[in-house]
Structures are given as C-alpha cells and as structure tokens.
Chain A
Amino acid sequence: MLTLTGLSCRFGPVTAVDDVTLSVPTGQVLGIIGPSGAGKSTLLRLINRLQAPSAGRIDCDGLDVTALRGRALRRWRGEAAMIFQSFNLIPRLDVLTNVLIGRLGHVSALRGLAGLFSAAERAMALDLLDRYGLADRALERAGRLSGGEQQRVAICRAMMQAPRLVLADEPVASLDPRNSRVVMDALRAIAREAGLTVLVNLHDLALARAYCDRLVALAAGRVVFDGVPAALSAARIVEIYGMDETALAEAGLAPAHA
C-alpha cells in the first residue's frame, strides 16, 4: 500500500502539486490524467524523491519515504522504478549495460562505479531482455534501437531494479499506436503477474480507460477525480480539461490511439 498524505510541491510561487492525499493498494494500475502542467510528472517525481516535497508525507508499506536520506534513499529509489517519456537510456552504451544500470541501487557504490556486475546479474538482465524480445539486441548501442524498443529496454531496466512500484511518466507519448499498446500491455502484465503497483501518467484518455484499474485526475495540482474508468463521464472530462474528449483529440492533446 502506497499512501500520500497532504503531499504538496511548490516551485517559487507555483504550486505544482497541491495537498494530494491518495492510497494505492499493491498491484493496482493507477492512471493519472489531466491537462499538461497539472502536476502529473511532479507527483511521480515526488514519489521517487527525485523532487523533494514542500509538505506532506509519503508512506509505503509502513516505510516513511519522506524521511529517507543517503543510502536508504538510494535503496528506495531503486524500489520505485521510473519509466520516462523519452526513455532516458544512455544512447552510447550497449543495451545490456543500460539494463544493468537498474542494479546500481542494489550494489555497493564502488562495485557500481567499476561496472563489476556479477554473471548472475547479467543473466537476469538477459532474461528480462529475452522476455521483451530484445535478447539479440543486447550488445547493440541503445541509441540504435527504435523508440518502442528503447522503451522496452527502459522497462527491463526498471524491472532489473526489483522494484515495489513502477512510476511511468507518459511512457507512450513518444510512441506510435502499435508500440504504445505493446508498452501498456507490458506495464499491465507487470502489475498482474509480478503484483507490482503501477502508477502511470497518460494524456491519452482511451489508453487510460483501457489499461487502468483506477483513474485519478489532477488539475492545477489538485485531485479532481478519483474513481474507476467507467465513472469518468463526459461531464467530468469537461470539468477536468475544460473541453470534451472529441475537442481534446482534435486539439492533438489526446490523440485517440485505441
């Protein structure tokens, strides 16, 4: 169970996340929707602690995440794996090394710096790559892979972290519809098979409805909707986005993928 209590994040005069209180049961796929600038990315970055909260608390299975520092913080970051819109792989390094970077939260700093990963870790990385159909690309440079392949490598990196949570920040916004579905299928499978909690930011409402167990909408940093996808009525969409779903799709803000 991941619990956010009164979580806020301010950047100067701007309040990106405003008093968010939320409980996410283990194994749930939670979609976070809302217009751009609503604080979706900041919320995920707060949970991973890439961003320090201005107020509020994050708890995960009895662990006070907001109080963590140093090595304990690094371990938490390893457990709250992030997946990014632009994949954030290291293009000049090979795919295998990119996946092994997921182990950095587990190995000692010196071993990580020296790149001394064990044969078992390499086997684990290769096994993950194989599961996502990328085993034969393991020694290629990550930069040579297509967008969809890179995002699958990023998922392998995330799974390599042996995480409790997966935080996916617009994971399919840079992908075509077919690759979007491959990546979303993979994220849902992680929740269903490995029992991990998945938080995913999406601007595509059709994908959000199709893949998420529950949707939370943010507007100006506040939670304005929290419920099952079926409860997201046309009227609520207008409330959240200030326009209806067709207009959203036409404005190119939410291309109707599904």
Chain B
Amino acid sequence: MSASLEARWRARRRRRRIAVLAWGGALAAAVLASAWFVELSPTVLIAGLPRIGVYFAKLVPTLHAASLFAGPATEGSLAYWYYRLDLWLFLLLQTSQMAALATLLGGLIGLALCFPASANLAPWRGVFLLARRLLDLLRSVPDLVYALILVWAFGVGPLAGVAAITLHSAGALGKLFAEVVENADMRPFEAVRAAGGGVAAAIRYAIVPQVAPNFLSYALLRFEINVRGASVIGFVGAGGIGQELYTVISFNYYQEISAILVLIMITVSVIDLVSERLRTMAMAA
C-alpha cells in the first residue's frame, strides 16, 4: 500500500517536473520570439542609453543660485524657467477636470453595465454575453484611438478627450465592477427576493452596500490612470496639457519640456496621494 503510494507520488512528481520544464521552455521561446519581433537588440540598447542621458542633460534647466528667486526676465531664475506657469496651470487644471469628468461618466456607464455583465445577476445568458462583449469592445480600444476619431467628429478640444477617456473607462470599470459583483455574497440578495423585493430592489439593498467600497476604490484608481491618460491625449488635439507638451517636444524646447514634466509629476503625485487616502477610507468604511 505505502510502496504503491510512494510510486504514485514519484510518478506525479516526475510528471509535474516535466510539465514545468515544458511550459518553462515554451515561455522562454515565446519571450525570445517577441524580443526578436520588437527588434530588441542589446547592441542598439547599449548604444542608445547614453543618448537618453544626453536628452535628460538637455532637459536640466539653467538655474543660478544667485538669481534663483529673481523675476521672469532674469535668466537662471525659477520664474524664467516657468515663464508660462499661468498657461500650464490652466492646462493642468483642464487635464485633471477632463480626467475627473471622464472617470465619473465612465463609472456611471460601467455601473449600469456591470449588473447585466455579472453571471450571478444576469437574467439570461444572452444578456450576460452581450453586456460582457460590449464592455470588452469599449475597453479594447485605447483612449488615444478614441480621441483620434472623436477629434475628427467633435473638433479639436477637451470635449473629444473627455468622451474618449469616458468610453475606455466605462469598459475598464464595468468589467472590474462586474467581477466585484460576482464575488458578492448572494445570500442577502436571496433574502430580499424571498421577502418579495424585485431584482432592482435586491441589487440596491443586498448587492450595492457590499460592493460600493470596492467600486469607489476602483473608480479612484481609474481616476489616477485617467489623469496620466489625459496628459497625453492632447497629443492628438483632444485638450489638456498634452497639446502643449507635444508642441514643446516637437520644437525641442528643452527647458519647457522639463518644466511641464515636473508639473505633471507633481499633479499626478498629489492626486495619487489624495485618492489613496480616500481609497483607504472607503475600504475601512
């Protein structure tokens, strides 16, 4: 008995080792193949690395300790570096407003779609599949591509950017929301149904209170992602700081590039910090 068990255990271990080796080999081959496809060559990488350094060196602003706090007319002062601070702050505000609005709208669309897209709540399999595919469709197109199309439709400006980020966020959030709903405890739902409540009432009373903190947390995470997304979406003319960033990069205005990048980093960090705090509060609630 124990001898045969030992033999079976050894056989199973051997099978597992073979499987690990086979899958590991396949994975390694796939990685090498993709490296070849993207022309990832070590020599080019090594040759290019110093150039990155050179670029960053050019970005470093000329600042003189003596005249650091002098007026915008003095070269080497902070004010000289940030001579268009008013415009950039306005554009950054526009960028974060775009992200906030798009997250809210995308979240609402995702909220509406997540319940039919949950296997445990969809009334029919067809509804479930339809809602899931719709979310996949919304999510699979990058917001930059939506923006290209929408700029063509609505014209240059933040409206196209908001609409583009909204569509992508709706797909991304809807799928995450649906997964949260699928993990919800269904017993309270059943109790509300058993008490004579309809499906909508059961969702409102038994599901929403369970999933709300997670929904909020995902929406805030999406907001952080969307702030980053909104800062580049202007590259295609869809509003925000991206348009300005694209201009200064194209014209090699190195000092302006670094000025804007620092501003974006500060903004994103502040939003990250605040939303992280909010998320912790939401999860504790």
Is the beta-carbon distance between A105 and B190 smaller than 8 angstroms? no
**Given A84-B191, A88-B191, CB of A74 within 8 Å of CB of B198:** yes
Instruction: Pick the contact of B210: A75, A82, A92 (CB < 8 A).
Output: A92
Instruction: Pick the contact of A82: B194, B205, B206 (CB < 8 A).
Output: B194
Chain A 222-243 near chain B by CB (<8 Å), digits 1 or 0: 0000000000000000000000
> Quick check: is A78 within 8 A (CB to CB) of the other chain?
yes
Task: Return the chain A residue nearest B194 by Cβ.
Answer: A82
**Given A84-B187, A88-B187, A90-B209, CB of A109 within 8 Å of CB of B193:** no
Task: Count A-B contacts at CB 8 Å.
Answer: 75
At the interface, is chain B mostly helix, strand, loop or mixed?
A: helix
Is the beta-carbon distance between B195 and A112 smaller than 8 angstroms? no
Report Cα–Cα, A84/B206, bound state, in Å: 15
Is the beta-carbon distance between B191 and A82 smaller than 8 angstroms? yes
> Quick check: is A101 within 8 A (CB to CB) of the other chain?
yes
Chain A 49-89 near chain B by CB (<8 Å), digits 1 or 0: 01000000000000000000000001111111110101011
Is the beta-carbon distance between B187 and A161 smaller than 8 angstroms? no
Is the beta-carbon distance between B187 and A105 smaller than 8 angstroms? no
Is the beta-carbon distance between B191 and A112 smaller than 8 angstroms? no
Chain A, interface size: which category? 20 to 34
**Given A90-B206, A92-B209, CB of A78 within 8 Å of CB of B191:** no
> Quick check: is A10 within 8 A (CB to CB) of the other chain?
no
Instruction: Pick the contact of A48: B188, B192, B194 (CB < 8 A).
Output: B194
Query: Which B residues are CB-close (under 8 A) to A76?
Result: 196
**Given A101-B197, A109-B198, A112-B197, CB of A93 within 8 Å of CB of B209:** yes
Chain B 172-183 near chain A by CB (<8 Å), digits 1 or 0: 000000000000
Instruction: Pick the contact of B196: A78, A84, A89 (CB < 8 A).
Output: A78
> Quick check: is A39 within 8 A (CB to CB) of the other chain?
no
Is the beta-carbon distance between B201 and A77 smaller than 8 angstroms? no
Query: Which A residues are CB-close (under 8 A) to B188?
Result: 88-91
Query: Which B residues are CB-close (under 8 A) to A82?
Result: 191, 194-195
Chain A residues at the B interface, C-beta cutoff of 8 Å:
48, 50, 74-82, 84, 86, 88-93, 97, 101-102, 104-106, 109, 112-113, 154, 157-158, 161
